[in-house]
Structure 1
């Protein structure tokens, strides 16, 4: 088999969604998947499109909606190993949101017919997908609850702790612009900048160039998140 297939097979084996499949099934997924590359800020799909299953191999993908007031509402960020497009795919409908590459990105795509057959042959994939989607729903519900009961300062501290945990250390780069992060937190970019500045003045974090952040006092940040 060619290098392209070997490349896809290596990726399929590394993705949790397909990791539990027998080797022969992983081979079929790799053969059925198509690799697509996207430039920075290139749209992957938008409202009204019929999607396949997209699995992020490399890069970062922003999923968002446009609100009735015309503002952009960030839904989530998708990093390597994450999948998207599943709602429209499983319901056989068109999507109602946008997906855009925030960085040069590479995604593996499987069309609806092939993916539906895979689900029929290997229900474990459906179970894994449901667990992931359920986790996303739980996170969204927590966010709604948090935004209604916590201040922007608390929610920002919680997000910074989460990003540090994902990065595996105190230093990390904000994955989005301040405007996008503010949209996600339900506030304005100006308010977000003030809250970040206050945390820096208090010696809790250090802000660097190109959206770099260093958590100097994680315990203090945890106290901010919880009080």
Structure 2
């Protein structure tokens, strides 16, 4: 069995993967690691008072909602390294979905309050996150323009061109 690495676990979260290691190490200090959930147990549910995000360290889970009649709609599946709830680090809105372990699962997490406190104390973290969000907004706007002004072939060619520009050279 491999030893748990809190830094590697949090680095899997899309929100944090591009942050400098020094900032990710600060995030480790405010996170909880390897909380165990047996198969079938609820990891999160609406109004459980658990805000913030989680990262699947081991195991699998499903994210789902229930309609008024109790019918389940699966919104996604979480595997090792997947994260869920990043939006809850920035918003006070209540969680509306359920997260249930489909195998025995170990989860790393951080609360909104701890995250917000660290962001206030760490300007470099705040700036890195803002820059990342800004880049995502630019990409979203570019995709909207493309969707409204290009046919499918042109959109695919533009996307492939973008990928080629972002290609990382391996030395």
Q: Given the two structures, how large is their TM-score scaled by the length of structure 2?
A: 0.63
Q: Which has the higher contact order (CA 8 A, sep 6+)?
A: 2
Displacement of 1:15 in angstroms is: 4.1
Conservation of the 8 A alpha-carbon contact between 1:49 and 1:94: no
Conservation of the 8 A alpha-carbon contact between 2:53 and 2:88: no
Displacement of 1:119 in angstroms is: 4.9
Conservation of the 8 A alpha-carbon contact between 2:56 and 2:81: yes
The gaps in structure 1 that reach 5 residues or longer are 136-227
Give me the whole-angstrom Cα distance separating, in 2, the residues matched to 1:87 and 1:19: 16
Determine the structure 1 residue equivalent to 2:93: 93
Give me the whole-angstrom Cα distance separating, in 2, the residues matched to 1:14 and 1:67: 31
Larger fraction in helix: 1
Larger mean Cα displacement after TM superposition, 13-22 or 44-53? 13-22
Deviations 1:37-81 (A, max 9, x none): 111111011111232211112111111111122211111112222
Give me the whole-angstrom Cα distance separating, in 2, the residues matched to 1:37 and 1:63: 17
Say whether 1:113 aligns with 2:113. yes
Give me the whole-angstrom Cα distance separating, in 1, the residues matched to 2:109 and 2:29: 11
Q: Given the two structures, how large is their TM-score scaled by the length of structure 1?
A: 0.49
Give me the whole-angstrom Cα distance separating, in 1, the residues matched to 2:129 and 2:80: 18
Give me the whole-angstrom Cα distance separating, in 2, the residues matched to 1:9 and 1:108: 10
Larger mean Cα displacement after TM superposition, 95-104 or 111-120? 111-120
> 3-state SS of the aligned residue for 2:106?
strand
Conservation of the 8 A alpha-carbon contact between 2:62 and 2:74: yes
* Larger Rg, first or second structure (1 or 2): 1
Give me the whole-angstrom Cα distance separating, in 2, the residues matched to 1:75 and 1:64: 5
Give me the whole-angstrom Cα distance separating, in 1, the residues matched to 2:119 and 2:63: 24
Determine the structure 2 residue equivalent to 1:58: 58
Determine the structure 1 residue equivalent to 2:148: none
